[in-house]
Copies of this chain bind each other. A is one copy, B any other.
């Protein structure tokens, strides 16, 4: 039985074409974003749209709830779709919604998306005050129900406090080390050591603003960075979270950056001269290119087992211990 392939973050303009590309690329599971700035009710509407997709395309995709669903997907030649929020906006100030969204299939929730939230501080704020009072309560509740804490867009102190306060391993689903590329969204060695020492997972991002050299980053540069990360943090704590935003119009990156929280234009990791989605590297254009990364990891010297782990086996193990009550 081949090892699973899991991409632990995508936000594409979903279509049958993309789901077929997942099948071509052998992607068994994808963690997809269903909320950036949405209210609870708006997020439910996004779930409804997914339910329509599951009803229309049951031969290609289904809702994933458990680690076993990754193996079911592999065994039935489909892709299991796991839901996550990049922002806790859907739960607002109501801790009871943590269990409700878990019941609706949500398996990951970021405590912040760039800005200060009710729970913690995002990586774009100047001051990082760590977990809020509600943040601590919500981390405890997420631990109880088995909803994974994702700190991809959070600030340093908040991330360290979440790792410290959480009784279960935390994830950074899509980011890279800042010692490789010092983007605001990439993570410090301190954070990555604390994360992985506590059993947490890092998913490497393929979003060009997170890559050294951006769109021109080469496959071997990317894989050499992973090799260095493996030597520091252990290959077993590493996976992929491509942040692929395939086929999205630039209006979507504007929504991600500015939501409804400002009337100003926000450029995020882009700039006034390059405000849109940057082009992906030519060795990872879409879901058909996972074999390039597998080959790159092998060429960089990773063993077959290590490569299988980074391609999906490590996320699968993490899913098995993280989803649902202990």
Contacts and interface: CB of A to CB of B under 8 A. Distances in A.
A212 to B, nearest CB: 42
Interface string A86-101: 0000000010110110
Contacts of A103: 103-105
A14 to B, nearest CB: 16
B40 A96 contact: no
Contacts of A326: none
Interface residues of A, number: 17
Interface string A123-151: 00000000000000000000000000000
A235 to B, nearest CB: 37
Interface stretch (A43-51, A68-76, A289-297, A302-310): A43-51
Contact of A104 (B40, B52, B104): B104
Interface in A18-42: 40-41
B100 A44 contact: yes
A104 B44 CA distance: 12
A40 B51 CA distance: 18
B51 A97 contact: no
A48 B94 CA distance: 10
A99 B100 CA distance: 14
A104 B99 CA distance: 10
A44 B97 contact: yes
A52 B96 contact: yes
Nearest to A104: B103
A51 B105 contact: no
- When all copies of this chain in the complex are counted, the total is 2
A211 to B, nearest CB: 38
Contact of A97 (B48, B52, B96, B97): B48
Contacts of A96: 45, 48-49, 51-52
Contacts of A47: 100
Contacts of A97: 44, 48
Nearest to A39: B41
Given A40-B41, A41-B40, A48 B99 contact: yes
A48 B141 CA distance: 13
Contacts of A40: 41, 44
A125 B48 CA distance: 33
A256 to B, nearest CB: 24
A52 B141 CA distance: 12
Nearest to A41: B41
Contacts of A99: 48, 51
23 contacts: A40-B41, A40-B44, A41-B41, A44-B97, A44-B100, A45-B94, A45-B96, A47-B100, A48-B94, A48-B96, A48-B97, A48-B99, A48-B100, A49-B96, A51-B96, A51-B99, A51-B100, A52-B96, A100-B104, A103-B103, A103-B104, A103-B105, A104-B104
Given A40-B44, A49-B96, A52-B96, 17 more contacts: A40-B41, A44-B97, A45-B94, A47-B100, A48-B94, A48-B96, A48-B97, A48-B99, A48-B100, A51-B96, A51-B99, A51-B100, A100-B104, A103-B103, A103-B104, A103-B105, A104-B104
